[in-house]
Amino acid sequence: MIPVIAVHGGAGTITRAALSDEQERAYHEALDHVLHGGQAILEKGGSALDAVTEAVFRLEECPLFNAGKGSVFTHDGTHELDASIMDGRTLAAGAVACVKSLRNPVLGARRVMEDGRHVLLVGEGAEAFAAAAGLEIVSDDYYFTEARYAQWQRALAEGRDGLLDHDAQSLLATPVAVEPIDPETKMGTVGAVAIDAQGNLAAATSTGGMTDKRVGRVGDSPLIGAGCYANNRTVAVSCTGSGEMFMRMLAAYDVSALM
């Protein structure tokens, strides 16, 4: 089996008119860094599970994406992050939701999966579990970026909550974007899927959620079968989009069923 990994940093608008050579290099380098990190593991005979973990870890570390550092703001001006991971060989899965102090939610999800007692931990319980496992805990301001703050402020001014990044385009006074990947129009849920040399599949997904979302809102990203799914018999899936719709349709599992 030829090992392969695919990554996504969220669907959205790339405005070529505003894309300088330097900016284009920055985004390409960021995605190359993510992709090559996962691919290097596969090329050395590593597992698909390790490859998607590494790729999503790197996406969470990059402030260009709505996961980990650079996550969007809730209505109350806080950050609540979700992540999940699934092993297609064993159907083992792990997830965390509404975490506010875990630097890398995908690592928390991986530890939940490896522990095996539960699939999904949320809030303070997830954070306590992650801290006990030795994962890095950070203060809320770690996730802050100026672009996300400005986006949240515009959403507040318009009185619109639960706003997907691409829907926030309507809040702009002009449709002309000033960034190469417009932070008001891109959807930032990140993810990775992979198949390793042994033919095993894996998937991982991570997100900061929806701009100006209600505190406590959880989307599809940490829900196995909705925003993430992997099964060696069929397919590996990592979703990005309107979480509520993905949950209603069980989108990731539905793709697997169709396969």
- Count CA within 13 A, CB hemisphere, residue 177: 23
Sort strands 201-207 and 81-87 into parallel, antiparallel or unpaired: antiparallel
The answer to whether 212 and 73 have CB atoms below 8 angstroms apart is yes
DSSP letters spanning 172-231: -SSS--SSSB-TTT----EEEEEE-TTS-EEEEEEE--SBTBPTT---STTSBTTTEEE-
pLDDT at residue 90, rounded to an integer: 98
Q: Out of 11-15, 107-111, 146-150, 206-210, pick the least confident.
A: 11-15
The tens digit of pLDDT for each residue in 163-205 reads 454 444 334 434 444 454 454 545 568 999 999 999 999 999 9
In percent, the amount of the chain with pLDDT more than 70 equals 85
Q: Which of 74, 189, 207, 240 is catalytic?
A: 189
At residue 14 the predicted structure's pLDDT band, cuts being 50, 70 and 90, is: low
Nearest by Cα to 165 from 212, 231, 105, 121: 212
Q: Is the pLDDT of residue 12 over 60?
A: no
Residue 18 pLDDT greater than 60, yes or no: no
211 phi/psi in degrees, rounded to 5: -60, 130
Q: State the alpha helices, DSSP H only, in the chain.
A: 21-43, 48-61, 105-115, 123-132, 146-158, 243-249, 251-258
Apex 236 CA angle, 99 and 111, nearest 5:
35
Other residues' Cβ atoms within 10 Å of the Cβ of residue 86: 32
In this predicted structure, the answer to whether residue 93 has a pLDDT above a threshold of 90 is yes
Beta-carbon-side half-sphere exposure of residue 246 (alpha carbons within 13 Å)? 23
- Provide the pLDDT for residue 171: 45
Q: What pLDDT is attached to residue 175?
A: 42
pLDDT of residue 10: 75
pLDDT, residue 25, reads 83
Q: What is the pLDDT of residue 17?
A: 61
Q: What's the mean pLDDT in 50-74? A: 94
pLDDT score for 169: 37
What does the pLDDT look like over 212-234, one tens digit per residue?
Answer: 899 999 999 999 999 999 999 99
Helix (H, G, I), strand (E, B), or coil: what is residue 136?
coil
The pair of structure tokens assigned to 234 is 């069929």
The pLDDT mean for the chain works out to: 88
CB burial class (10 A; 0-12, 13-18, 19+) of residue 135? middle
122-160 confidence digits (pLDDT tens)? 999 999 999 999 999 999 999 999 888 888 888 888 775
Quote the CA–CA distance of 12 and 161 in Å, as a whole number.
19
pTM for this prediction = 0.88
- Cα 228 to Cα 65, 177, 188, 207, 246: the distances in Å are 18, 31, 15, 12, 10
Percent of the chain with pLDDT over 90: 70
Q: Which residue has the tokens 């100026």?
A: 146
Does the annotation count 189 as an active-site position?
yes
- d(CA 225, CA 156) in angstroms, rounded, equals 32
